[in-house]
Structure 1
């Protein structure tokens, strides 16, 4: 029997973390701003806007597809900076994606019960092949709805 080696446990934990981060799959994670002052409808609002895009339109990685501006406190708090930004949909981990695929993945995020932020992988439940993400952005390309 071998004595317990702490470095073996450390290596095991690091390995598990690496696998977990690569195979996160569909999820409702995002910025800490995702839960601040939102009405819980951002994911549905984004999906509804995205349903109006052309199936053949191509969206490049990082391009804002649609945005929902409702983020941050609904009332001003004295002596604190005012929060800006919004929740936007965009493609990550791949060069781009067509509108038909964006629609399918937007629906998957809503079906997963995400209320504000989330990501849906393009295939094999693995984000390394590309993903559609709903997340907080400081400077949305558009105020609300589809970003043209």
Structure 2
């Protein structure tokens, strides 16, 4: 084997390692550090509120779809800190818009995945990558509504 062949094989092997790790973040229960402060029914409450939306309603990127006030708790790392006033809200990310029908299906997937407070579900179930559009349940400091469907 010549040196150039060995060099080519080494580069190909390295590219193969990185190709395997390039898959994006799929459905998950990640979110802000404030997510653990919510009660464990938050994701279900958001899903239930979202189920009241019309299937043909359009939700634009960043619109708060539904919010739950039970998650405005305290910072988990500072005992005794007063409520901070934010809430866990559902909103669309990484895509211009989604229909109510799409949002309902993704909200159910977040709950079915076992998320209790925060989480995200990708719009494209086959690619399972949130960069192609996602519904997210996460902490927001200035919710557009106080409770239920916005």
> Which of the five TM-score ranges fits, normalised by the shorter chain?
0.7 to 0.9
**Aligned residue in 1 for 2:31:** 30
**Aligned-pair RMSD on alpha carbons?**
2.3
Q: How many residues align structurally?
A: 130
Residue segments in structure 1 that go unaligned for 5+ positions in a row: 1-10
Instruction: Tell me how far apart the structure 2 counterparts of residues 139 and 91 of structure 1 sit (CA, whole Å).
Output: 16
Distance 2:64 2:132 in 1: 19
Q: Take 1:51 and 1:117, find their aligned partners in 2: how far apart are those partners?
A: 17
SS at match of 1:30: coil
TM-score by length of 1: 0.80
- SS of 1:103's partner is helix
Q: Which residue of 2 aligns with 1:127?
A: 130
Runs of 4+ aligned residues of structure 1 deviating over 4 Å after TM superposition are none
Match of 2:105 in 1: 104
Alignment pair present for 1:48 and 2:51? no
So what's the TM-score if we normalise by structure 2? 0.79
Distance 1:139 1:81 in 2: 16
Q: Which has the larger Rg?
A: 2
